[in-house]
Chain A
Amino acid sequence: MQAALTEVLKHPAIWRGDGFSHALPEVIDCQHAELAPILPGGGWPKAAVTELLASRAGCGELKLLLPALAALTQAGKQVVLIAPPHIPYAPAWQAAGVDLRKLTWVVPDTEFDALWACEQSLREPACGAVISWFKQPLSDRNARRLQLAAEKGGGSGFVLREAQHDGQSSPFVLRLGVESVAGGVAVRVLKRRGAPHLRPVFLPHATPARRPVYGRNHHVVAGTASAPAAAQRAASAPYAYAG
């Protein structure tokens, strides 16, 4: 689609049947060309909490967030990580462009403390993004508290949980499911404002799966043979390969 047409279509007076609601939320750029079209406003919402359900910790949730976090820290905003499942590996985060001076890693003892820290950080206008990992699903009351705190502080909140989409309702306006598939990450919109989007979006890995250049035979395993099967399992609908 041509850029000029895209500009025109952003006009609030134009109604599109498959589009988002008219009031586009204020967003931060998600820095993913593939992801932007399916997010209302084209990025991560500001002054709101986004829920990401990862099939397992380390299945690609960082790939989604790191470019936006890098842009935020370079713009002088603070980023707070609360109770991440592993050690945020400083060299990799730096290589992704994150200004480590703007990154704070909080390790609370209990889930309750994590909630408290998340709420306090979201209230703080200096925080551009607050990313919090939880083991248990948030209760409706706690989720609303976080949402209110984000509205007060104006930053972007991200709540991550290791779970499949379990059909649970949640007050967050944007919910995404993240799953690793062969060669990349599949992102599926579980809930958003506007028309539902059922097709998962595929984000390929930066370094493509290469065959080992050397090595003994048993190290060489055909990655391509099993990949379609995994993709089939991950999503019944076909992928939108973009980028």
Chain B
Amino acid sequence: MRSGLRRSAAQALAAQLQLARRQPEQEAALLANLATWALQFTPTVCLDPPAGLLLEIEGCLQYFQGLERLRSLISAGLAEMDLPVRLGLAPTPLAASWFALTADEAAPPCFDDWQHRLQQLPLAALPWPTAWQDSLRELGLRRLGELLQLPHAELALRFGSDFTQMLAQACGQQPDPRRPFIPPEHFARRLELNWHIEQVEALGFIARRLLQELAAFLLGRGLGVQQLRWQLGHEGGQRSELLVGLGQPTRAAEAMLAITRERLTRFTLPAAVHSVALLADSLHRLDGEALGLFGQGQAQADFQLLRARLAARLGEDAVRELHCVADHRPEHAWSSRPPATSAPSLRSERPGWLLPMPLALETRAERPWYGEPLTLLGRAERIESGWWDGASVARDYWQAEGPSGRRYWLYQQRLDGAWFLHGLFA
């Protein structure tokens, strides 16, 4: 069995063959997520499509206490995601990726004698276009070493200068700059299923795979997530969304899966599911937080994190600040946004609670009435302002008290003498 076979030929060779359509965009998305995961090992990660990742590890070997430990960390991490891996190690990116292609899955990579092993590489295993492969086979070349012995000028004439440049880059005679991978801001991953799911329980397996990828993404970025957004695509173009809130920012796949399963059991599918997407757009910093002297007991005192979490769940508008604004009109004297100028502190007394809208009061026996007769106290404070912006006020403010002892803040409109309640001295 080899690639390039027709479907009928393949099925003739192996009757129990199961065919699946290849999904290049899914492979690219998975590779990008793995690249984000790999950022936990080194800051310089490059994509090597279709299935390779290049990690610059020289700078971080000491941090990971040597090559052997780093290799086992990477292998163990990928094994957790049920991904087979082949590792290659070389001073140049091209040689490293060629070693990985031809490596044995179980064998650990070795660094010694890399020039010699590079020369021993079989040409047929290298990811070169079939036209090159065919000409090389016709020339009777089997190993990379035989090719490297040929004069470069003639090779350039036959295969083009790109070819000789690539060979020089692989041997380290020419620089091979790579564009480092930049991780995306948010996690979004969609799985198109080859079969349709009608049972909620079966979604758990898909969820587990997506959450493992999310956990890897978060680990690489040093982030945690507090809200998961599941989008299910149903037959007939219908969509449904499921929001899963987590108690605190986390990146533990098992914890997220447990909570998601809880939510899924209470969820009824409107129709069979053919695609599952997981989005995590509000991410929180988890790494780099100072721990308490006695371990995790006193969790990190990060108030900004709390505010971010409150805003993530309740909405940006629900978490507000308070500021004073230099304005005589009471309803304009505060703001939940930082004002341009700072306000001088007031000399006259103000109530602790302000009503969102002034409440019109009726008058009984020519006295304002709010559930009880109100007695005005002290002097009136006249506020007349705002004629320039259309919200002009002309009012006399009073403190008032009722028989119950509650203190009110009232005003009388100077225009028509109507009474309004504007605040409460609590």
> Which of B34-42, B187-195, B254-262, B310-318 forms contacts with chain A?
B310-318
Q: Which of A123, A205, A218 contacts B407 (CB 8 A)?
A: A205
- Known contacts being A121-B306, A182-B403, is A113 close to B426, with CB within 8 Å? no
- Known contacts being A117-B314, A205-B407, is A58 close to B426, with CB within 8 Å? yes
Q: Is A104 an interface residue (CB 8 A)?
A: yes
Q: Is B74 an interface residue (CB 8 A)?
A: no
Instruction: Say yes or no: A103 contacts B405, CB within 8 Å.
Output: no
- Known contacts being A66-B352, A104-B320, A107-B320, is A218 close to B405, with CB within 8 Å? no
| A207-223 vs B, Cβ < 8 Å mask (1 yes, 0 no) | 10111111100110101
Instruction: Say yes or no: B405 contacts A230, CB within 8 Å.
Output: yes
Q: Is B336 an interface residue (CB 8 A)?
A: yes
Q: Which of A57, A63, A221 contacts B375 (CB 8 A)?
A: A221
Instruction: Say yes or no: A93 contacts B301, CB within 8 Å.
Output: no
Cα(A213)–Cα(B380), bound, Å: 9
Instruction: Say yes or no: B354 contacts A86, CB within 8 Å.
Output: yes
> Which of A124-132, A136-144, A169-177 forms contacts with chain B?
A124-132
Cα(A89)–Cα(B423), bound, Å: 9
Q: Is A7 an interface residue (CB 8 A)?
A: no
Chain B residues, CB < 8 A from A86: 353-356, 423-424
Cα(A92)–Cα(B315), bound, Å: 27
Chain B residues, CB < 8 A from A180: 404-407
Cα(A89)–Cα(B353), bound, Å: 5
Q: A interface, how many residues as a size bin?
A: 35 or more
Complex: chain A residue closest to B307, CB-CB: A104
Cα(A206)–Cα(B425), bound, Å: 11
Cα(A107)–Cα(B403), bound, Å: 32
B-contacting residues, A158-200, CB 8 Å: 179-185
- Known contacts being A57-B424, A120-B306, is A126 close to B301, with CB within 8 Å? yes
Chain B residues, CB < 8 A from A230: 403-405
Give the number of residues in B that approach A within 8 Å (Cβ atoms): 58
Cα(A230)–Cα(B405), bound, Å: 8
| B387-426 vs A, Cβ < 8 Å mask (1 yes, 0 no) | 0000000000001010111110000000000000001111
Chain A residues, CB < 8 A from B407: 180, 205
Q: Is B298 an interface residue (CB 8 A)?
A: yes
CB proximity of B410 to chain A, nearest CB, Å: 11
Q: Which of B307, B318, B376, B406 contacts A56 (CB 8 A)?
A: B406
> Which of B21-29, B44-52, B78-86, B321-329 forms contacts with chain A?
B321-329
Cα(A10)–Cα(B346), bound, Å: 41
CB proximity of B334 to chain A, nearest CB, Å: 4
CB proximity of A67 to chain B, nearest CB, Å: 12
Cα(A76)–Cα(B310), bound, Å: 20
6 contacts between A and B (CB under 8 A): A60-B426, A96-B352, A103-B322, A105-B336, A205-B407, A206-B349
Please list the residues of chain B having a beta carbon within 8 angstroms of any beta carbon in chain A: 248, 298-299, 301-303, 306-307, 309-310, 313-315, 317-325, 330, 333-336, 343, 345-346, 349-356, 365-367, 373, 375-379, 399, 401, 403-407, 423-426
Please list the residues of chain A having a beta carbon within 8 angstroms of any beta carbon in chain B: 56-63, 66, 78, 84-96, 100-101, 103-109, 113, 116-117, 120-121, 123-127, 152, 154, 179-185, 205-207, 209-215, 218-219, 221, 223, 226-227, 229-230, 234
The 10 closest A-B pairs by CB, nearest first: A58-B424, A90-B334, A62-B426, A86-B353, A92-B350, A180-B405, A89-B354, A126-B303, A62-B352, A181-B405
